[in-house]
Amino acid sequence: MPRISWIKLVVAICISTLTSTDCLECYSCTNIEDVDNCRNTTQCQLGQACFFKLKHVAQTAMYTLGCRDNQYCMNPAVGGSAGLVGRDIHARQIHDCFECCNTENCNKHLCEHPKRKIVRVKRHIFNICNDTHHAKTECPKFCGLCTLVDGNWATWSSWSQCDVTCDNGTQVRKRSCTNPAPADGGLDCAGDSMQSKVCVKQLCPVHGGWSKWSHWESCSVTCDIGIQRRHRNCSNPYPARFGDHCFGESMDDKICTPGPCANGGWSNWGSWSTCSVTCDDGFKSRSRTCTNPRPSVKGKLCDGNTIDVAGCKNESCQIPLVTFQSKDINDLNLHANTVLVFRTTTMNIGNGYDNTTGIFTAPVSGLYSFSIQLGLVGGGSNVVNYSFVADGKEMKNGLFVDHDYTKTYSANTVTYLSKGGRFWIKTKSLSGRLYQASNVWNTFSGFLLHT
């Protein structure tokens, strides 16, 4: 019988256990010249094994394959018994048998047929199925690997766009392990899922870059405030192929201060001014300037004061006496917006008051005090609305009101009048009646407080 390495033999073993049964599936052909042309299979019964028989007919080798009962390979002479694949596992067989192999190589290279692998063997007996990826080519049906699928690459995708717009870049293409995808323990695809290649574009533009700043130049002045300057160039690199020029300034300036050109110095004192008053104690002053020399921009100012003040004394001042007092109003029935005229002048030092017009004219400039006293007729509602007027400007307004009895009311004010300034009292409304008698006077008086 030829060696099993080239025999087209299908071996299967029917093994009954408590939980499962696996049976042989063998090729079945009669008198064929090439075992590779056998495509028919048959299912062996329990106690049968695959067989292979060769005979020569007129120099032509003829092959027969199929199922036969076991027990052909045992050796009864030495008390042997049939084994799992139709041979005694203890004694060497001496007769030809139809089980898996010949006398010398019984069960050798089980399932290793170079083309179709058609043996189904209980996997835990011969450990054939432990190596899944070997078993799938030997006995896929017995090892339960009929659904195992090894992965295979799909076609490559198109090359991607170049990843740069200038100079050298990269293009990639991809493929997936989906034609078919690995399943049920099948192998993944071998090889790379992505390929790349260099793509060449036109040269990129060169954008300009600044060189380092130069050292600062000398200050533009030797004293006070000047300018220092430094430079840089757009040469690191120079812009080329329509590249951008450097952004920013090529020149940088800063203030420099070597030192002051001159500190300030005082001029001589000037002459004393006249005394601030013409009488009594006053003061006088003199001044100097920081101009000998003037301080430069960074120079120091002069220390000390620009003004010198001293006291001066003149003859004692005498304040002129100006005062007046008048009484007796011409018309006791008051009229609106009428100057009150007091016709009797009891005192008029300085001759400031005119008893015909009721107006006081200041003989000298100074601060004056003025006051009035008016007697109101009692009974009913009697109201006198008055106003103090200085040079046409109302200085004070007020009301005198008497409901029951004849009473006198007074008011005063202080104001400054220049020489020739005028002061008077007028009514503001039409109502009001005055009362005067030997014991009730209506008066208007004033005097100079200070010049």
Indicate the length of the chain as a whole number.
451
Q: Which domain holds residue 133?
A: 15-138
Tell me: pLDDT of 398 over 60.
yes
User: How confident is residue 288, by pLDDT bands cut at 50, 70 and 90?
Assistant: very high
Query: Do residues 301 and 279 both lie within one domain?
Result: yes
Query: Do residues 357 and 312 both lie within one domain?
Result: no
Query: Do residues 270 and 331 both lie within one domain?
Result: no
Query: Do residues 286 and 366 both lie within one domain?
Result: no
Query: Do residues 301 and 351 both lie within one domain?
Result: no
- Note whether residue 160 is domain-resident: no
What is the spatial distance between Cα 292 and Cα 191, in angstroms, rounded to a whole number? 97
Tell me: pLDDT of 63 over 70.
yes
Q: How many CB atoms sit inside 10 A of residue 31's CB?
A: 11
Of 269, 286, 317, which marks where a domain is finished?
317
Domain of 275, CATH number, reads 2.20.100.10
pLDDT digits (tens, 9 = 90+) for 209-234: 999 999 999 999 999 899 999 999 99
pLDDT for residue 422: 97
Q: How many domains does the chain have?
A: 3
Of 317, 337, 357, which marks where a domain is finished?
317
Query: Do residues 308 and 425 both lie within one domain?
Result: no
Of the candidates 348, 357, 359, the residue with the CA atom closest to the CA atom of residue 417: 359
Domain of 403, CATH number, reads 2.60.120.40
Across the range 137-160, mean pLDDT stands at 81
Tell me: pLDDT of 115 over 80.
no
User: How confident is residue 54, by pLDDT bands cut at 50, 70 and 90?
Assistant: confident
Query: Do residues 444 and 350 both lie within one domain?
Result: yes
3-state helix, strand, coil split of the chain in percent (to 5) is 5, 35, 60
- Note whether residue 210 is domain-resident: no
**CB 197 within 8 Å of CB 171:** yes
Query: Do residues 367 and 413 both lie within one domain?
Result: yes
pLDDT digits (tens, 9 = 90+) for 75-112: 444 444 444 444 444 444 444 444 443 333 333 333 33
- Note whether residue 91 is domain-resident: yes
pLDDT for residue 108: 37
- Note whether residue 213 is domain-resident: no
Of 115, 138, 161, which marks where a domain is finished?
138
Of the candidates 445, 439, 324, 428, the residue with the CA atom closest to the CA atom of residue 375: 439
- Note whether residue 369 is domain-resident: yes
- Note whether residue 183 is domain-resident: no
> Which residue in the block uniquely carries the two structure tokens 């005694």?
88
Across the range 309-338, mean pLDDT stands at 88
- Note whether residue 166 is domain-resident: no
Query: Do residues 108 and 44 both lie within one domain?
Result: yes
- Note whether residue 30 is domain-resident: yes
pLDDT for residue 8: 41
Query: Do residues 274 and 372 both lie within one domain?
Result: no
Residue 273 exposed, middle or buried by CB count within 10 Å (0-12, 13-18, 19+): middle
Tell me: pLDDT of 347 over 60.
yes
Residue 7 exposed, middle or buried by CB count within 10 Å (0-12, 13-18, 19+): buried
pLDDT for residue 273: 92
Query: Do residues 332 and 425 both lie within one domain?
Result: yes
Distance of CA 180 to the CA centre of its chain: 51
Tell me, yes or no, if the pTM score tops 0.75: no
**CB 353 within 8 Å of CB 323:** no
